[in-house]
Structure 1
Amino acid sequence: MESVGEYEAKTHFPKLLERVSKGERITITRHGVPVAVLLPPECPPKTSPAKIIDELRNFRKQFRLDGLRVQEMIEEGRR
């Protein structure tokens, strides 16, 4: 992890953001004392398509239309 002073961080902020977007962590210091850390955001793990399909099927089992048609619901909403 690299350290940069606050003045350098202020004047070269776009360059620092570019480096952080590539995975680098940068500590910003004031008079040699760390005051902030720039780091990339943590991305949530991706859900597999198979798991999403299973969740949709389970959702459909829980919520049935019981004979209603989508077209009828649309027409009801227009009244």
Structure 2
Amino acid sequence: MREVGAFEAKTHLSELIAAVEAGEVVTITRRGRPVARLMPVAGDNAGRAAAVERIRSLRKGLAGISHKDILSARDEGRR
């Protein structure tokens, strides 16, 4: 992962975008502290797709449980 200062990021933005398009992750710092991260969009979508698939598999496991059953279990736990 590459780190660049805010001023350098501002003056070389097009170069940084080209690096990100090539798959690189760039952290932008201000006074040595990380404040932003440039990363490819495709990497973000892959994580979303995996999360959606996990949610779908969890839903399959709950197919036999009704809304009333869930509320009943919740209320029972409050006693």
| TM-score normalised to structure 1 length | 0.53
Query: What is the aligned partner in structure 2 of residue 59 from structure 1?
Result: none
Match of 1:37 in 2: 37
Q: Residue 4 of structure 2 aligns to which amino acid in structure 1?
A: V
List aligned pairs for 1:49-68, cutoff 5 A: none
Distance 1:2 1:14 in 2: 15
**How is 1:1-79 mapped onto 2 (pairs within 5 angstroms)?**
1-42=1-42, 43=45
Root-mean-square deviation (CA), in Å? 1.4
Gaps in structure 2 of 5+ consecutive residues: 50-79
Query: Normalising to structure 2: TM-score of the pair?
Result: 0.53
Aligned-partner SS, 2:41: coil
Tell me the percent identity: 49
**Matched residue type, 1:29:** T
Supply the distance in 1 between the matched residues of 2:32 and 2:9 (Cα, whole angstroms): 13
- Give 3-state SS (helix, strand or coil) of 1:9's partner: helix
- CA distance in 1 between counterparts of 2:5 and 2:21 reads 19
Between the aligned partners of 1:2 and 1:41, the Cα distance in structure 2 is 17
For 1:21-68, what per-residue CA distance to the aligned partner results, in whole angstroms no more than 9, with x for missing partners? 0000000000000000000002457xxxxxxxxxxxxxxxxxxxxxxx
Query: What amino acid is aligned across from residue 13 of structure 2 in structure 1?
Result: F
Please state whether the residue corresponding to 1:29 is helix, strand or coil: strand
Bigger helix share: 2
Count of aligned pairs? 45
Q: 1 CA distance for matches of 2:40 and 2:23?
A: 6
Q: Spell out structure 1 runs of 4+ moving beyond 3 A.
A: none
Larger Rg: 1
